[in-house]
Amino acid sequence: MTAPVLVSSVEEVNTETPKSEFRTNELPAAPTYNATTMQEATDRAFVQESSNPEQDAKPEQIPNHNSEVTALQNGETETPLDTSTGLPLRPSYRTPKTASDPPELRVLHHFVEKTGNILANGWVLGKKLGSGVQGTVYLLEDKDGKDAGRVFKQVNVRAVARVSGALIGIEREWAIGRELNLLNEDDGFLEGFMQTGSKVLKPDGSFLGVVLEKLNGKDVKDRLDDTGFNDIDYIMTMVMQVLGALDRALLRIGFQHRDTNAHNVMEHWLDEERAGPVHDTPPKFKETELGKKLNLRGLHFKLIDYGHSYTNKNDAIDHQTWRKASQVKEPKVPCYSTEHFYRRVFHGRSDVWRFMLSLGRALEGRVWEQKDERKVRLLMETIHYTTGYSHNVYFASAPGQHKQGLFRRPMSVGGPLYGLKWVRIMSRAYCCPSHPLTTPREALDFIEEERIRVGLSEEDIP
């Protein structure tokens, strides 16, 4: 995926990436939005950005970098609209390609689901990225063969998918994704969630698949599967971003993900200096004497896969956003779908419980750097607060110094007997959890209280 190299003037258009504030024990008042006032505020922002008196002050006529970024990202010279919020997009290096995509597209009659064939809107099916029970994912390219910044997820064997309920699952995933798009920031960037683009229909109007934002990175589980990876700053950054995203979505539209395992959290690397996504291989970890570290510059974490998700009006306090979200029709789960069984099994277990349980399983018995002990203890206390399980952690201050006991090492992640420990963790966390209904806000408040108790500064927690 080749990104255009933009001049440094892009930084004038783009304000600093907003950093969410999670370190308050007070529940923030839900923001309210008025389409008229938001439109006026956006227009004023465009006018203020143009400090050159020779430029036309009208937002739609601002030349130079605004139109350049817009043209590069959207293939047009006029300011595009965010099709979810209805507001003008403020182009920046973060603006995803999917922000201005139409809600619905229809393929041609001769369309065949095969690499090299035209899908719709000038996009061509590129390399097959993966295939699962529900669907197959393709990279999308433009007519010139360049990366379109999107992927296409199509339904596999629609006849079978319709009977099994998988077809409804992907349709629900699209609908809930479009509701999440209402949380877009003014440059179209959706913090914490993969953005959902167009729903793609067959010529007869039946559902074919969805266009999704392409994320630049790997899933977190791939990092954690490496037992030598012990970058606590990477992990705490991911924890804070995921909890913050879940908190915003719950308060704004009553969203619950219901499958917040580590493999459903993806890295998304952005390079501000190059004014675009990192299109090459994402940064590799740096080997140190005591583990593996990553440079976290430009790193965002996004939740994916909304197949088990749902929204509940009773959980939302931003009623204006909820009303907009309610206009998106979510298909009902069929009575024969296994989704009902899944929900019964995990009834009374929150997104935070799932997330912390997944992290605890992946980090069991890991060796950390001694200098990071307080941060690691903070993370482990948060996991214990939610799941009720106390995980084993070990620290080293010199290369080759592993303080795992002779009999505990095989029970750690990667060990031959870890399966036994996995069963124990799951049994304890499921049958006797401490706080299984912990909300994202409660988890963030707990982390803040623990940070103060262990003597860490605000700068120590990303």
Mean pLDDT split into 10-residue runs, the chain, 462 residues: 40 41 42 42 41 40 38 58 92 93 92 90 92 82 91 74 63 93 96 97 91 93 91 97 98 96 95 54 60 86 93 86 85 81 91 98 93 96 97 83 65 86 94 96 98 94 82
Residue 459, in any domain of the structure: yes
Domain span holding position 301: 215-316+348-462
Residue 227, in any domain of the structure: yes
Residue 142, in any domain of the structure: no
Residue 206, in any domain of the structure: no
418-430 exposure pattern, b = at least 16 Cβ within 10 A, e = fewer: beebeeebeeebb
Report pLDDT for 403. Answer: 61
CATH (domain of 248): 1.10.510
> How far does CA 384 lie from the centroid of its chain?
24
Report pLDDT for 56. Answer: 43
pTM of the predicted protein model: 0.79
Unique residue bearing structure tokens 């993806």: 266
Give the 3-state DSSP-derived string for the chain, with helices as H, strands as E and coil as C.
CCCCCCCCCHHHHCCCCCCCCCCCCCCCCCCCCCHHHHHHHHHHHHHHHCCCCCCCCCHHHCCCHHHHHHHHHHCCCCCCECCCCCCECCCCCCCCHHHHCCCEEECCCCCCCCCCCECCCCCEEEEEEEECCCEEEEEEECCCCCEEEEEEEEECCHHHHHHHCHHHHHHHHHHHHHHHHHHCCCCCCCCCECCEEEEEECCCCCEEEEEEECCCCCEHHHHHCCCCECCHHHHHHHHHHHHHHHHHHHHHHCEECCCCCHHHEEEEEEECCCCEECCCCCCCCEECCCCEECCCCCEEEEECCCCCCEECHHHCCCHHHHHHHHCCCCCCCCCCCCHHHHHHHCCCCCHHHHHHHHHHHHHCCCEEEHHHHHHHHHHHHHHHHHHCCCCCCEEECCCCCCCCCCCCHHHCCCCCCHHHHHHHHHHHHHHCCCCCCCCHHHHHHHHHHHHHHHCCCHHHCC
Report pLDDT for 103. Answer: 93
The answer to whether 161 touches 155, Cβ cutoff 8 Å, is yes
The answer to whether 70 touches 77, Cβ cutoff 8 Å, is yes
Report pLDDT for 318. Answer: 87
Report pLDDT for 325. Answer: 87
Distance CA 419, CA 405 (A): 18
For residue 53, list its beta bridge partners. Answer: none
The answer to whether 385 touches 446, Cβ cutoff 8 Å, is yes
Contact residues for 247 (Cβ-Cβ < 8 A; gap 6+): 22, 439, 440, 441, 444
Report pLDDT for 209. Answer: 92
Which pair of tokens denotes residue 86? 């209805």
Residue 296, in any domain of the structure: yes
Residue 277, in any domain of the structure: yes
Report pLDDT for 286. Answer: 62
Contact residues for 172 (Cβ-Cβ < 8 A; gap 6+): 306, 307, 309, 310, 330, 331, 333
Report pLDDT for 167. Answer: 65
Number of domains in the chain: 1
Residue 150, in any domain of the structure: no
Report pLDDT for 143. Answer: 85
Residue 356, in any domain of the structure: yes
Phi-psi region of 217 (alpha: psi -120 to 50; beta: other; left: phi over 0): left
Strand order of the sheet with strand 299-303?
276-277, 265-271, 299-303
